[in-house]
A and B are shown apart, each in its own frame.
Chain A
Amino acid sequence: MSSQPYELVKDKGLDEGVARLTPEKIAKVVGAVLESEGGARLKAYVDTCAHCGLCAEACHFFHSHDRDPRYAPVAKVKQTLWGILDKGGAVSPDYIARASRVAYTECNLCKRCAMYCPFGIDIAYVVGLMRRICHKLGVTPQYIQDTAHSHSATMNQMWVKDDEWIDSLMWQEAEARDEVADLRIPLEKHGAEIMYSVIGPEPKFRTQLIYQAAVIMHAAGVDWTMPATPGWDNSDMAMYSGDYEIMGRLKRSHFECAQRLGVKRIVMGECGHAFRSVHDVGNRWLGWRDEPVPVIHAVQFYHELITSGKIMIAKKFQEPVTFHDPCNIARGMGLHEMGREVARALCEEVVEMTPNREHNYCCSAGGGVINCGPPFRNTRVHGNKVKAEQLAATGVKTVIAPCHNCHGGLEDIIHHYKLDMKLKFLGDLIYECMEKPWN
Chain B
Amino acid sequence: MLKSMDYDWETGTRVVADLDQWRERHEWVEEPCIGADGAQAAAVCKVEGEDSFTVATTDGDWPTPFEKIWNLRHAPDGRLTALVQVDGLWTLAVDGEPWEESFDFAWNPLFGQDGGQIGLCVQVEGEYGLAVDGTPWETLYPNANNPVMSPTGGRTAAAVQTVPLGQAEIDKFQSGIFSASVDGETWDATFMNVWGLAFSPDGARTAAEVRLNLYEYSVAVDGKPWRKSFGGVWEPVFSPDGRRVAAPVRLAGKWTLAVDGERAWNTDYYQLWHQVFTPDGKRIAAIVSPSFGKWTVAVDDKPWEIAHAVVRDLTVSPDGKRFAAVAGSPGAWTMLVDGQPWNASFERLWAPVFSPDGRRVAAMAETDGRRVIVLGGAALDMGAADSLDPVFSPDGSRLLVKCLDGRKVIRHVLNLDAVKPA
Binding site for B on A (CB under 8 A): 12-13, 16, 36-37, 135-136, 138, 142-143, 145-146, 149, 152-154, 161-163, 166-167, 170, 182, 184, 186-189, 191, 228-230, 243, 245, 248-249, 252, 259, 262, 264-265, 284, 286-294, 373
Contacts and interface: CB of A to CB of B under 8 A. Distances in A.
A138 B161 contact: no
Interface in B282-337: 289, 292-293, 295, 309-310, 312-313, 329-331
| Interface bracket on B | 35 or more
A138 B213 CA distance: 11
Nearest to A152: B193
B108 interface: yes
B189 to A, nearest CB: 17
Interface stretch (B27-35, B94-102, B392-400, B407-415): B27-35
Nearest to B194: A153
B105 A167 contact: yes
9 closest pairs, A vs B, by CB?
A: A289-B293, A287-B271, A287-B289, A163-B105, A146-B168, A292-B310, A287-B270, A149-B173, A145-B170
Given A153-B193, A265-B330, A229 B108 contact: yes
B231 A228 contact: no
A266 to B, nearest CB: 10
B330 A170 contact: no
Contact of B128 (A135, A161, A259): A161
A153 B350 contact: no
B402 interface: no
A229 B173 CA distance: 23
A230 B46 contact: no
A161 B143 contact: yes
A132 to B, nearest CB: 12
A170 B85 CA distance: 11
Interface hub of A230, A292, A373 (most chain B Cβ within 10 A): A292
Contacts, number: 110
Contact of A143 (B123, B168, B289): B168
Contacts of A149: 170, 173-174
Nearest to B232: A245
Nearest to B170: A145
Interface in B240-299: 250, 252-253, 270-271, 273, 289, 292-293, 295
Interface hub of B121, B173, B313 (most chain A Cβ within 10 A): B173
Interface of B: 27-28, 30-31, 46, 68, 70-71, 105, 107-108, 121, 123, 128, 143, 145, 161, 167-171, 173-174, 178, 192-193, 195, 211, 214-215, 217, 231-232, 250, 252-253, 270-271, 273, 289, 292-293, 295, 309-310, 312-313, 329-331, 347-348, 350, 371
Given A182-B28, A290-B309, A291-B330, A373 B168 contact: yes
A294 B330 contact: yes
A288 B348 contact: no
B70 to A, nearest CB: 6
Interface hub of A13, A145, A153, A292 (most chain B Cβ within 10 A): A153
12 contacts: A16-B171, A146-B167, A146-B173, A149-B170, A154-B143, A163-B128, A228-B108, A252-B273, A287-B295, A288-B295, A292-B330, A294-B331
A248 B170 contact: no
Given A13-B170, A153-B145, 14 more contacts: A12-B170, A36-B252, A152-B193, A153-B143, A162-B121, A163-B107, A163-B121, A188-B71, A228-B108, A259-B313, A262-B350, A264-B331, A289-B292, A294-B331
Nearest to B295: A287
A287 B128 CA distance: 35
Contact of B348 (A145, A146, A264): A264
A187 B31 CA distance: 11
A145 B215 CA distance: 14
B145 A162 contact: yes
Contacts of A290: 309, 329
A305 to B, nearest CB: 19
Contacts of B309: 288-290, 292
Contacts of B192: 152
A377 B84 CA distance: 45
Nearest to A230: B145
B293 A36 contact: no
Given A161-B143, A189-B31, A136 B215 contact: yes
Contacts of A265: 330
Contacts of A163: 105, 107, 121, 123, 128
Given A153-B178, A184-B30, A291-B330, A286 B170 contact: no
B232 to A, nearest CB: 5
A149 B168 CA distance: 9
Interface hub of B170, B271, B347 (most chain A Cβ within 10 A): B170
Contacts of B293: 287-289
A293 B330 contact: yes
A291 B27 CA distance: 39
B231 to A, nearest CB: 7
Nearest to B33: A190
A286 B193 contact: no
B57 to A, nearest CB: 19
B27 A182 contact: yes
A166 B145 contact: no
A154 B145 contact: yes
A186 B70 CA distance: 9
B71 A187 contact: yes
A429 to B, nearest CB: 29
B107 A166 contact: yes
B348 A262 contact: yes
A264 B371 CA distance: 13
A138 to B, nearest CB: 6
A115 B217 CA distance: 39
Nearest to A138: B214
A264 B170 contact: no
Contacts of B289: 287
Given A142-B168, A289-B293, A248 B232 contact: yes
A36 B371 CA distance: 46
Nearest to B371: A191
A175 to B, nearest CB: 14
Interface hub of B30, B70, B121, B217 (most chain A Cβ within 10 A): B70
Contact of B68 (A161, A170, A291): A170
Contacts of A13: 170
A401 B114 CA distance: 52
A410 B354 CA distance: 55
